[in-house]
A and B are shown apart, each in its own frame.
Chain A
């Protein structure tokens, strides 16, 4: 259906200094329509968003050509307005929400004031009327306890709630157009699903158009009417979402589609016969003491990890998946004793390491190495690549200069980089290349295990794909094991032979990847899987499965007390599920462990206490 256009961008050109960020981009947004602007980092999609609100000048960029026309009353040519005229548009007719809800809100102003500010400015409300309106705005975006939130500060809220506040702020004046710049990228999948449906619902209510900027094709399929694909500042393709997904024409679009992780695209096959595990963790717990007040009696323990057991076989990848704050990074660090476990044992290549002192621990550190999330922060900018990637080997084996040079060349070749680049510095490499350097560094001591903590989460989809492919290849060649930690269950599926799902400091479900993902038993696993956006617009209106309500257990407790630990029950061969009654909101209660038939390779359905089939 042809609708009248709301915003027309024609031949837009943007520069940052002498760099051309956007080269002649044209597209329209109709009233009430959702247009997705898709591309990888450096494609100019965020620059375009900032240019529409004329905020790009503040970031050091400039509009060097083209027009941005906002239709309506009055019609405005945004690229020529003065700053004062733009102020009437911003937050009023066109609003914007940003990627990082953690930093996009002012930390020293109450949430109520921050929302009320927009209303006072554009609708000339007085203080008390604006406060009431802010409360309504909170209610509209379904923030629980809106009255209390008015006087809270941003740091008191979770990321998902902060993004709701941002949305409340952006929609306070019922704008004609909402620009959403990667609004869910920093959020967990379950939170992302909630925020996406909230935006859709408010769009129907207010009738606004949405320009949705993202790199995630799954999100595009869920929310967009029309898609504009950007590649290095130029439009690669444009079309209705169904056509684009069914018949992507541009090579770049096809490339993006292939790289997008899809749930259910199959897990890798284990290449080796089972042997003694490289890593075995028994009942590990990590607690952090938290002091409050003057008296020690008010101190509490935060139970970040509570009684986790797992093992990784040689040549195997165990995927550890869970949302932010579930304790997965703490677990990864405790496994390498970068954080001291409070309880339990860790065996690395058969040796117990939990009680070793620092000197005895050092030689064992060769056997397990780590790759971190941020490839920009985890490489020392002052060292050459040669020194960086051979440093662990240098520490443990005392190499000569020549040995270091040969090792560096070998390692670079192994991770697919030019051996000649050994003399360069990290800033001369892209994000994906840097993550290859981090892997090369880990490999320099021929470890038995590499712990990869969100190692591809900061990368573009196509680059992330290359890095995970590299990991699989190295595993095939050297038989190295991986503990692969991620919040993205689709990526985990692609690389892991087995997965462990972590929730509130405990592993709630673990088993072969296929078994866990195709036959999820624990309500949290089911929730996690149902929240993953499916890159297929035709399945957008699939009914969402009914999910059991989950109440997370309290993790902050007085010393001496601990959250109850659920026992694991084997529901199929190697497939374990935490045993507690999923129908009850009170998890980790004092329920007797469930009895279940342990099938012989056949997935036997779990039975809950009431004897019903435990399927939701």
Chain B
């Protein structure tokens, strides 16, 4: 198990370094920050002065190493626009984003695992079909459509829920549902398929032959095995959501999260903020993946001792 964890950590480190490099060079290809700081009507002298001020006239490699060095002081450089340490700007955005993600994941687990099990057990009756139709719809409709329809219904017509910001618990409802929608659809389908696989296994018959009641057979023997497959899917989906899914939703609900920060800084070519924002998201994805890898090994004893001594 320890070897496995160390290997996972090592892979994490390498992946992160690769991402850092790609992010640095990709942002530099996307256009010059100076064009966006002041806007129209800037003189050539002013422009050169700004370039010097931001140290954008140095060779690219020097900038790259300066960028790597900026990791060490804990500030990660200064924002071009706001002239505040990037770390401060990103940190105040991480928590709202994390809150939203956690809510969405919790909702997903609460809804889709029971639904998936139900759909697997009663796959031949109308209940199973109904669950699958709903899941398929959820999969087919993009999350911003769900978001806008909800805003229309619950805020504009009914005036029940607030639309902008994250002030109260009520603010959480619509973004959470919108973010979880696709995830619920996907995970319901995966749970159903994983359960169907497990239901046909020999050890389920053994469990029944022992005289176990059906709910113990399903939950203790079935879900524990299906859980391994479900776990891997959750990891992938959540990581995907952390990377891109919340950008759109945060924009729609003006959620002061990291997705919102990324969009603004990308529009303004605020390199330090954009770079660090992307890196934070990348780090989140890597950490989630590693956590899933470890959880996977914890759940499946065959992975833990995959080599016989």
Decide yes or no: A55 and B221 within 8 Å by CB, A108-B228, A117-B212 being known contacts: no
- Contact partner of A108 (CB less than 8 A), chosen from B7, B205, B211, B301, is B301
With a cutoff of 8 Å between Cβ atoms, the chain B residues found around residue A88 in the complex are 211
Q: Is A106 engaged at the interface, CB distance under 8 Å to the other chain?
A: yes
A294:B3 contact, CB within 8 angstroms: yes
Bound CA–CA A91/B210 (angstroms):
4
**CB proximity of A576 to chain B, nearest CB, Å:** 32
With a cutoff of 8 Å between Cβ atoms, the chain A residues found around residue B208 in the complex are 53, 55, 58, 90
B211:A106 contact, CB within 8 angstroms: no
B214:A83 contact, CB within 8 angstroms: yes
User: Which of A31-39, A93-101, A388-396 sits within the interface?
Assistant: A93-101
Q: Is A109 engaged at the interface, CB distance under 8 Å to the other chain?
A: yes
With a cutoff of 8 Å between Cβ atoms, the chain B residues found around residue A169 in the complex are 206, 210
- Contact partner of A55 (CB less than 8 A), chosen from B3, B209, B213, B309, is B209
Bound CA–CA A102/B308 (angstroms):
17
With a cutoff of 8 Å between Cβ atoms, the chain A residues found around residue B95 in the complex are none
Q: Is A89 engaged at the interface, CB distance under 8 Å to the other chain?
A: yes
8 A Cβ contacts from A248-296 to B: 290-294
Decide yes or no: A109 and B211 within 8 Å by CB, A55-B205, A292-B307, A293-B3 being known contacts: no
Q: Is A442 engaged at the interface, CB distance under 8 Å to the other chain?
A: no
- What per-residue 1/0 map shows which CB atoms of B188-224 lie under 8 Å from chain A? 0000000000000111011111111110000001001
Bound CA–CA A103/B202 (angstroms):
6
With a cutoff of 8 Å between Cβ atoms, the chain A residues found around residue B211 in the complex are 86-92, 118, 121-122
- What per-residue 1/0 map shows which CB atoms of A108-119 lie under 8 Å from chain B? 110000000110
Bound CA–CA A291/B4 (angstroms):
13
Q: Is B69 engaged at the interface, CB distance under 8 Å to the other chain?
A: no
B210:A105 contact, CB within 8 angstroms: no
User: Nearest chain-B residue to A113 (Cβ)?
Assistant: B220
Q: Is A127 engaged at the interface, CB distance under 8 Å to the other chain?
A: no
Q: Is B145 engaged at the interface, CB distance under 8 Å to the other chain?
A: no
B209:A53 contact, CB within 8 angstroms: yes
**CB proximity of A584 to chain B, nearest CB, Å:** 25
With a cutoff of 8 Å between Cβ atoms, the chain A residues found around residue B210 in the complex are 90-91, 95, 117-118, 121, 169
Q: Assign chain A's interface to a size class.
A: 35 or more
Bound CA–CA A53/B308 (angstroms):
37
B302:A95 contact, CB within 8 angstroms: no
Q: Is A240 engaged at the interface, CB distance under 8 Å to the other chain?
A: no
Bound CA–CA A86/B212 (angstroms):
10
A95:B212 contact, CB within 8 angstroms: no
Q: Is A84 engaged at the interface, CB distance under 8 Å to the other chain?
A: yes
B206:A87 contact, CB within 8 angstroms: no
B206:A106 contact, CB within 8 angstroms: yes
A104:B301 contact, CB within 8 angstroms: no
**CB proximity of A585 to chain B, nearest CB, Å:** 21
With a cutoff of 8 Å between Cβ atoms, the chain A residues found around residue B214 in the complex are 83
- What per-residue 1/0 map shows which CB atoms of B283-309 lie under 8 Å from chain A? 000000000000000011110010111
With a cutoff of 8 Å between Cβ atoms, the chain B residues found around residue A90 in the complex are 208-211
User: Nearest chain-B residue to A172 (Cβ)?
Assistant: B210
Decide yes or no: A87 and B213 within 8 Å by CB, A55-B208, A153-B301 being known contacts: yes
User: Nearest chain-B residue to A169 (Cβ)?
Assistant: B210
Bound CA–CA A292/B7 (angstroms):
12
Q: Is B6 engaged at the interface, CB distance under 8 Å to the other chain?
A: yes
User: Nearest chain-A residue to B225 (Cβ)?
Assistant: A108
Q: Is A351 engaged at the interface, CB distance under 8 Å to the other chain?
A: no
**CB proximity of A173 to chain B, nearest CB, Å:** 9
User: Nearest chain-A residue to B214 (Cβ)?
Assistant: A83
Q: Is A539 engaged at the interface, CB distance under 8 Å to the other chain?
A: no
B225:A107 contact, CB within 8 angstroms: yes
Bound CA–CA A551/B213 (angstroms):
44
Interface size on B, residues (CB 8 A): 28
Bound CA–CA A59/B201 (angstroms):
11
- Contact partner of B300 (CB less than 8 A), chosen from A92, A105, A108, A166, is A108
User: Nearest chain-B residue to A53 (Cβ)?
Assistant: B209
A84:B209 contact, CB within 8 angstroms: no
With a cutoff of 8 Å between Cβ atoms, the chain A residues found around residue B225 in the complex are 106-108
Q: Is A518 engaged at the interface, CB distance under 8 Å to the other chain?
A: no
**CB proximity of B9 to chain A, nearest CB, Å:** 11
Bound CA–CA A109/B205 (angstroms):
15
A155:B302 contact, CB within 8 angstroms: yes
Decide yes or no: A291 and B212 within 8 Å by CB, A98-B205, A107-B301, A107-B302 being known contacts: no
Decide yes or no: A106 and B203 within 8 Å by CB, A153-B302, A155-B301, A155-B302 being known contacts: yes
With a cutoff of 8 Å between Cβ atoms, the chain A residues found around residue B201 in the complex are 103
- What per-residue 1/0 map shows which CB atoms of A335-353 lie under 8 Å from chain B? 0000000000000000000
Bound CA–CA A465/B212 (angstroms):
42
User: Nearest chain-B residue to A50 (Cβ)?
Assistant: B205
User: Nearest chain-B residue to A105 (Cβ)?
Assistant: B203
Q: Is A156 engaged at the interface, CB distance under 8 Å to the other chain?
A: yes
Bound CA–CA A131/B233 (angstroms):
35
With a cutoff of 8 Å between Cβ atoms, the chain B residues found around residue A118 in the complex are 210-211
A104:B206 contact, CB within 8 angstroms: yes
| Residue from A53, A84, A96, A106 whose CB has the most chain B CB atoms within 10 Å | A106
8 A Cβ contacts from B105-141 to A: none
8 A Cβ contacts from B221-242 to A: 221, 224-225, 228
Decide yes or no: A98 and B299 within 8 Å by CB, A87-B213, A118-B211, A292-B307 being known contacts: no
Bound CA–CA A62/B93 (angstroms):
61
With a cutoff of 8 Å between Cβ atoms, the chain B residues found around residue A58 in the complex are 205, 208
B212:A121 contact, CB within 8 angstroms: yes
With a cutoff of 8 Å between Cβ atoms, the chain A residues found around residue B205 in the complex are 55, 58-59, 98, 104
Bound CA–CA A107/B197 (angstroms):
14
- Contact partner of A100 (CB less than 8 A), chosen from B3, B202, B212, is B202
**CB proximity of A100 to chain B, nearest CB, Å:** 6
Bound CA–CA A265/B213 (angstroms):
51
With a cutoff of 8 Å between Cβ atoms, the chain B residues found around residue A104 in the complex are 202-203, 205-206
Bound CA–CA A153/B308 (angstroms):
13
With a cutoff of 8 Å between Cβ atoms, the chain A residues found around residue B3 in the complex are 293-294
Bound CA–CA A557/B6 (angstroms):
25
- Contact partner of B209 (CB less than 8 A), chosen from A96, A156, A291, is A96
With a cutoff of 8 Å between Cβ atoms, the chain B residues found around residue A156 in the complex are 305, 308
- 9 examples of A-B residue contacts, CB within 8 angstroms: A83-B214, A108-B299, A118-B210, A292-B307, A292-B309, A294-B6, A294-B7, A556-B308, A556-B309
Kindly list 8 other residue pairs between chains A and B, CB separation below 8 angstroms, not including A58-B208, A106-B221, A109-B221: A91-B212, A103-B201, A106-B203, A121-B211, A121-B212, A122-B211, A153-B302, A291-B307
Which 7 pairs, one residue from A and one from B, show the smallest C-beta to C-beta distance? A90-B211, A91-B211, A91-B210, A103-B202, A153-B301, A106-B203, A96-B209
